[in-house]
């Protein structure tokens, strides 16, 4: 896991720009965090970009995280 949040922002920006359905991540601190997800959606809406579903592998396994 990179310590630089720029990498997280880049992954999210690319996924948003290319209208990716879901961004799979273990990064609870910067991406898969309810407070961050709300803000990310808000910013993307202001920019006219879609927001991918921000999910963890546990979401795909049917496990509550």
Strand (E) or helix (H) holding 24? strand 22-24
Q: What is the pLDDT of residues 22-36, one digit of tens each?
A: 999 888 887 888 888
Where are the chain's structural domains?
A: 5-61
- State the pLDDT confidence band at 1, using cuts at 50, 70 and 90: very low
Average pLDDT along the chain: 86
Contact 25, 31 (CB under 8 A): yes
Extract the tokens encoding 63. Answer: 């496990």
What pTM does this model have?
0.78
Q: HEC states along the chain?
A: CCCCHHHHHHHHHHHHHCCCCEEECCCCCCCCCHHHHHHHHHHHHHHCCCCCEEECHHHHHCCCC
């Amino acid at each position: 896991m990179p310590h630089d949040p720029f990498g997280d922002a880049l992954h999210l920006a690319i996924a948003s720009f290319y209208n990716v359905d879901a961004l799979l991540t273990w990064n609870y601190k910067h991406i898969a965090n309810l407070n961050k997800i709300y803000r990310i959606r808000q910013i993307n809406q202001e920019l006219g970009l879609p927001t991918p579903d921000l999910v963890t592998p546990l979401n795909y396994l049917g496990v509550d995280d």
